[in-house]
Structure 1
Amino acid sequence: MKHQELTEEVIKVFYRVYNALGYGFLEKVYENAMMIEFRKEGVSAFQQSPINVIYSDQIVGQYFTDIIIDEKVIVEIKAKKSLTSEDEAQLLNYLKATDKEVGLLINFGPKPELSRKVFDNSKK
């Protein structure tokens, strides 16, 4: 699997934070807690990196990723009852709009959820 070691590290951190904080906080709280854990582990991670959506060589929109790991994996954080197809589409669109090929969608809901998405650059 592409970037398996990185995604395993993210999943480890996700469960560590989930077990400590549980369900009920805003996404930003979980994002900040995960960043603390990434720093402890020496993992290169950046918050709120901009993504420009390009159409006909022009920027038509800008979004911000929650976290990017080692310039390779996009992490999208949710804190809701359950993940939806719209959440998965959001992550896939982030992958389409960047040179990143792997994304993790994680949900700090009543029970922890995660989804791993891959979008090969050759298909973009």
Structure 2
Amino acid sequence: MNENDIASKVIGAAIDVHKALGPGLLEKAYQECLYYKLMQAGLQVEKEKPMPLTFEDVKLECGYRIDILVENKVVIELKSVESLNEVHLAQTLTYMKLGSYKLGLLINFNVALLKQGIKRVVNNL
């Protein structure tokens, strides 16, 4: 399964979660529900995946964690904020670069219509 196929499945599951819960909950609630939906769909899913930072050939645990990693290919960064900004995008890109992932989805559940809260992020390796 390629990154685009995975992203389509993630977006479908995220829409289902948003339809059921609506906006206004904490990020953690959406994370748990999306994780459950993706597991139900038979995808390999990791949540709160630690992302070490390599500095001068030394791996350092700095507390970075990917919200959800799907099929070890697609980074999912979840938010429940008033609006997405450049810092959220930079955070997603950082995780992607640290793990050499090509595709990420930045999803803000605190919107009326979820498609307004989804940003596709591509890392040109």
Output the TM-score relative to the length of structure 2: 0.90
Alignment partners' CA distance in 2, 1:34 and 1:80? 17
Query: In the alignment, what sits opposite 2:50?
Result: 50
For structure 2, which runs of at least 5 residues remain unmatched after alignment?
A: none
Q: Does 1:32 align with 2:32?
A: yes
SS of alignment partner, residue 25 of structure 1: coil
Q: Which amino acid aligns with 1:70?
A: E
Q: Which amino acid aligns with 2:124?
A: D
Alignment partners' CA distance in 1, 2:25 and 2:124? 33
Q: Which amino acid aligns with 2:55?
A: Y
Query: In the alignment, what sits opposite 1:8?
Result: 8
Cα drift, residue 35 of structure 1 = 1.3
Q: Which amino acid aligns with 1:4?
A: N
Query: In the alignment, what sits opposite 1:119?
Result: 123
Q: Does 1:23 align with 2:27?
A: no
Q: Which amino acid aligns with 1:55?
A: F
Alignment partners' CA distance in 2, 1:110 and 1:23? 6
Over residues 63-97 of structure 1, what are the superposed CA-to-partner deviations in whole Å (9 max), with x where a residue is unaligned? 01110000000100000111111100000011111
Alignment partners' CA distance in 1, 2:63 and 2:36? 26
For structure 1, which runs of at least 5 residues remain unmatched after alignment?
A: none
Alignment partners' CA distance in 2, 1:17 and 1:118? 24
Output the TM-score relative to the length of structure 1: 0.91
Q: Which amino acid aligns with 1:85?
A: E
Q: Residue 68 of structure 1 contacts residue 75 of structure 1 at CA under 8 Å; is this kept in 2?
A: yes
Cα drift, residue 99 of structure 1 = 2.2
Cα drift, residue 16 of structure 1 = 0.5
Query: In the alignment, what sits opposite 2:84?
Result: 83
Cα drift, residue 120 of structure 1 = 3.0
Cα drift, residue 57 of structure 1 = 1.2
SS of alignment partner, residue 42 of structure 1: coil
Q: Residue 53 of structure 1 contacts residue 62 of structure 1 at CA under 8 Å; is this kept in 2?
A: no
Alignment partners' CA distance in 2, 1:44 and 1:38? 8
